[in-house]
Amino acid sequence: MHDYKWLNEYCLNRFGSAAALEAQLPTPASDDYLRALSADRYLSTLALRVFRAGLKHSLVDAKWPAFEQVFFGFDPEKVVLMGAEHLERLMQDTRIIRHLGKLKSVPRNAQMILDVQKQHGSFGAFIADWPVHDITGLWQYLAKHGNQMGGLSARASCAWWARTPLSPPGTWSRPSMPRTSSTRCPAANATKPWCRKYSTNGSTRAAGHCASCRQCWPTPSITEPPAPRHHFLPETTGRKTSLLMPVLQPKLTIS
């Protein structure tokens, strides 16, 4: 694993300048904003993260207006009263994602929010007052006291809350920035962007970089791909499969 210094230099080389890199970073939410954010928005983001897990995000986002309706706008006071029979009826609603385990997590997370409000006045104040240097402790708290908040769910929820303003689902995933010629070294721009060369050990050198750039691979001594290595496949009955199939296996390594 690379250290922060290496990562920072890599990002600066990727975006071209510190100003361009800074422009891609989200605006952190203030403590006042986190305190003012209502409990139903916190519960909505927790539930959204739970239902997004393992599914295509755009699919969940498209159905989210129906979730807001069937869960009473994610008002914790109302959601916590939803019993097993109510959740069973939701399993027949084709407008939402019918996953009983995830549906049950919504009232349980609503109860967690209500418990926090009794101790801290509001869930937003609890989030805002949490020490910044102990953000991993907040993830652990949500994973322990919430439901289905393990793995990356707690971290993703905190990341959504930290952005201001809290935009609707479907706009939280920032599209990747396309690589432009300004982010590559001048010597690389003189070559075809789709051209790939090979080093002496057979590994490919990334397109768009020159041989002398410190971010690039060593200068290749050959311009043609090396002889393909062979991968032995077991003989399969009923299939016309060659026992010896050549497979080109380039290895990408970053120095």
CA 115 to chain centre: 29
Assess contact for 74 and 68: CB atoms under 8 A: yes
Q: Give the start-to-end residue ranges of the domains of the chain.
A: 31-161, 181-234+241-255
Is the domain spanning 31-161 CATH 3.30.428.10? The answer is: no
232 neighbors 185 (Cβ within 8 angstroms):
no
Distance (Å, whole) CA 186 – CA 127: 47
- Quote the pLDDT of residue 244: 38
| pLDDT score recorded for residue 190 | 55
pLDDT of residue 161: 82
| Secondary structure tally for the chain: helices H, strands E | 12, 4
Token representation of residue 84: 């097993």
Omega of the bond leading into 165 within 30 degrees of 0 (cis) = yes
Q: What is the pLDDT of residue 155?
A: 85
Q: For the segment 87-140, what is each residue's pLDDT rounded down to a tens digit?
A: 999 999 999 999 999 999 999 999 999 999 999 999 999 999 999 889 889 999
Q: Report pTM.
A: 0.62
Confidence of residue 189 (pLDDT cuts 50, 70, 90): low
Section 61-86 average pLDDT: 96
